[in-house]
Amino acid sequence: MAAVTLKNVVKRFGVFEIVHGANIDVEDGEFVVFVGPSGCGKSTLLRMIAGLEDISGGEIAIGGKVVNNVEPADRGIAMVFQSYALYPHMSVEQNLSFGLRMNGNPKADTERRVKRASEILRIAELMKRRPRQLSGGQRQRVAIGRAIVREPQVFLFDEPLSNLDAELRVQMRVEISRLHKELGVTMIYVTHDQTEAMTLADRIVVLNAGNIEQIGAPLDLYDDPANRFVAGFVGSPKMNFLAAQVVGNDGNATLLELANHGGARLQKPLSGAPPAVGAEVVLGVRPEHFFEAGEGDCDIAVKADVAEHLGSVSYVYANAGAAPGANAGPEELIIEREASRQRATGDHMVVSIKAGQSLLFDKSGARIR
């Protein structure tokens, strides 16, 4: 087992800098997920840890040893890719043992490792099959098995579940979680899927355009995001953002007027200094934090466009037209309601927002606390 440390890691492709000085401490035995939109640099970071990509600046250490100039094979890591990269002409057993055999690992030890991997992944009955005789989920298990037999200090996963259908993805997610508990080994996992990140990670690293926006435990990111990007990225359906203006301040509370809701006002207590009167701000409200009319601190009227009934809850997609002079809009809101069949296109609804269950951001996206 080993910790992985990135200090001011920079990556340039030609003149383009795509990772701008990343600092990440992955603890021994921790499960850390790199998440972010397409092109944010998460795969490149992982490939630099693996040694598949040179680093342009900074330092990467695995188990306390700087590995900048260490070959991938000597880093004590094993990587699982999205494309399973299995040898088609070999059986599952041969696929699992191939790397060890090539390295001249003793036969008895190779057999022991392959047997253990097949038991952990419950693929013992598939050992004689070829990859084309396996389902997608079974192939991904074999790919993970090839990593397990190497007995690495660190597992690296690059979007390993992207090729699987939705049901299998959920199943394999649970398996990977179980594997982490069973092996207790450091794992770093790249995905663009925030649900995968939330369910797998001890800690999540949220990346955006080559910068780290925030590092934290899943529920800490959900409840206490550092900025609007993280607030909008973590959580499904997404947080709603309502345009507002500061119309007054009283001690550490600020009075907001919602731009698209007929002058509706909300008094929001803050722990720090309130923004200046006149400032345009954004109020963040999660779909589950809209309450029945009169139950919160500020009621707003919206018009339902579409309702999705999921059985356990319903999501109402509603909108409010931009008011004259509003600083944004028209606004689309996603509102979670108790399961119902009723609300449909064109319904007018009044919902309520609570000051304590909303977040405030300035125009640049920084949190106002």
Nearer to ligand ATP by C-beta: 44 or 186? 44
Sign of CA dihedral 85, 88, 92, 98: negative
| Pairing, β 203-208 against β 211-216 | antiparallel
Nearer to ligand ATP by C-beta: 41 or 216? 41
Q: 3-state DSSP call for residue 239?
A: coil
- Please, which residues have CB within 8 angstroms of residue 167's CB and are 6 or more apart in sequence? none
Q: How far apart are CA 369 and CA 351, in angstroms?
A: 24
Q: Which of 225, 202, 224, 199 is nearest to 213 (CA)?
A: 225
Nearer to ligand ATP by C-beta: 39 or 136? 39
Q: 3-state DSSP call for residue 369?
A: coil
| Residues 157 and 187 sit within 8 Å (Cβ to Cβ) | yes
Cβ burial 338-368 (10 Å sphere, 16+ → b, else e) = eeeeebeeeeebebbbebeebbbbeeebebb
Compute the least distance from the CB of residue 358 to ligand ATP, in Å. Answer: 30
Compute the least distance from the CB of residue 27 to ligand ATP, in Å. Answer: 23
Compute the least distance from the CB of residue 18 to ligand ATP, in Å. Answer: 4
Nearer to ligand ATP by C-beta: 134 or 205? 205
Instruction: List residues binding ligand ATP (CB under 6 A).
Output: 13, 18, 36, 38-44, 192
Compute the least distance from the CB of residue 285 to ligand ATP, in Å. Answer: 28
Q: How far apart are CA 88 and CA 316, in angstroms?
A: 48
Compute the least distance from the CB of residue 40 to ligand ATP, in Å. Answer: 4
Compute the least distance from the CB of residue 208 to ligand ATP, in Å. Answer: 10
Nearer to ligand ATP by C-beta: 48 or 147? 48
Q: 3-state DSSP call for residue 360?
A: strand
Compute the least distance from the CB of residue 157 to ligand ATP, in Å. Answer: 12
Q: How far apart are CA 90 and CA 75, in angstroms?
A: 27
Nearer to ligand ATP by C-beta: 44 or 358? 44
Nearer to ligand ATP by C-beta: 13 or 87? 13
Q: What is the secondary structure of 275-329 as a DSSP string?
A: PPTT-EEEEEE-GGGEEETTSSSEEEEEEEEEEEE-SSEEEEEEEEPPPTT-SS-
